[in-house]
């Protein structure tokens, strides 16, 4: 595993048609700093801290991944486990009405 890369990427829905895949600590930090939907809560602050420490090798990339996933959940993002789960969540998410865009669900087929 490359330093700073997650053992398993984190995929989450932004809306019914778009998702993001985060593969490492630097990407997680960038997302939290530039695309977070609003002020973060306690888990957001914790994830920022753990990711910053992981960049300095004071914490592991996997500790940063777990903290990032917790912060995503706290913020209401829907985490995607696999392809089938993606489509199930997309159907459910369509009724929630969030919007920013990145990857397309069509590209995952």
Interhelix angle 61-75/42-55, rounded to 10 degrees, is 160
Average pLDDT of the residues of the chain: 81
Alpha carbon distance 24, 55 (integer Å) = 10
pLDDT 10s digits, 77-104? 988 876 555 556 566 555 554 433 344 4
Residue 18: pLDDT over 90: no
């Amino acid at each position: 595993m490359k330093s700073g890369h997650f053992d398993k990427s984190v995929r989450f829905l932004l809306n019914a048609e778009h998702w993001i895949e985060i593969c490492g600590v630097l990407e997680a930090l960038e997302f939290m700093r530039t695309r977070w939907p609003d002020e973060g809560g306690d888990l957001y602050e914790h994830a920022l801290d753990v990711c910053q420490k992981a960049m300095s090798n004071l914490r592991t990339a996997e500790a940063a991944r777990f903290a990032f996933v917790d912060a995503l959940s706290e913020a209401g993002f829907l985490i995607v486990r696999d392809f089938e789960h993606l489509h199930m969540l997309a159907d459910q998410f369509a009724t929630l009405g969030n919007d920013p865009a990145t990857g397309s669900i069509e590209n995952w087929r």
